[in-house]
Amino acid sequence: MCVSAAVLLVLAQGCLMPQSVDPANTRPHTIPRVDVINLPDYLLKPTMLLYPRGPADPTSCHCVLDVSISIIADDPTVNVEGRLFVDYDLSVPTSQRRVDTKVLEGDFQSSKTTRGPVHFTIDADQFGLTPTPDIHVFELVLAEQAGFAADSVSPSQRATKPGYESSVLKFVVEVRAQDPLRPTCDVQAVAPQVRSCSP
């Protein structure tokens, strides 16, 4: 009796349990996107006005747009990258450079799917935005950081690798020329325009 029990125990240890052959990670890649429910009012308007400088502004002062955006990523552990473009045109290689990049790092200790808000500074001087033409289209491209393809893949700097997808938020900035009724650019300033002065 003892011998047969021992034999059964040895045989049981040698039996293999069926194992799953499915990949360990079956979760699809997340598509980060802008939290449109909580967009600031100024992003709901057709255009945002920017008066970069007033006639009485010293050279050390000018106005910029401080655009605030919250991001949703269903997987809180992945790094999300936002790439900002202005007047992107496939036929104009110089327009395909990103004017700003923000990385929102993932967190294994959090279950929150909303990140930010992240701030983008629209500076007419820095981006070479002029009143002629006065309308400039900005595009914020969001994807998992690991999902962006090499910059040489078309469309340049915004393509994603196979299996990944991106989302895009577009907004329009209208750059205005100096106005005698606005001696400084912050007169009658409307959000998100703010005055910035260097020391």
Structural domain for 89, as ranges: 27-52+66-181
pLDDT of 45 higher than 70: yes
pLDDT of 42 higher than 60: yes
Residue 196 inside a domain? The answer is no
Residue 189 inside a domain? The answer is no
> What is the total count of domains within the chain?
1
The pLDDT score that the predictor gives to residue 27 is 56
**pLDDT tier, 133 (very low <50, low <70, confident <90, very high otherwise):** confident
What CATH number corresponds to the domain at position 45? 2.60.40
Residue 2 inside a domain? The answer is no
SS (H, E, C) the chain: CHHHHHHHHHHHHHCCCCCCCCCCCCCCCCCCEECHHHCCHHHHCCCEEECCCCCCCCCCEEEEEEEEEEEECCCCCCCEEEEEEECCCCCCHHHHCCCEEEEECCCCCCCCCEEEEEEEEECHHHHCCCCCCCEEEEEEEEEEHHHECCCCCCCCCCCECCCCCCEEEEEEEEECCCCCCCCCCCCCCCCCEEEEECC
> Full-prediction pTM beyond 0.75?
yes
| Average pLDDT of the segment spanning 118-132 | 92
Residue 157 inside a domain? The answer is yes
| Average pLDDT of the segment spanning 104-113 | 93
Residue 76 inside a domain? The answer is yes
Provide the percentage of residues in the chain whose pLDDT is more than 90. Answer: 81
Residue 60 inside a domain? The answer is no
The pLDDT score that the predictor gives to residue 16 is 52
pLDDT tens digit sequence for 136-177: 999 999 999 999 999 999 999 999 999 999 999 999 999 999
Residue 84 inside a domain? The answer is yes
The pLDDT score that the predictor gives to residue 24 is 47
Residue 148 inside a domain? The answer is yes
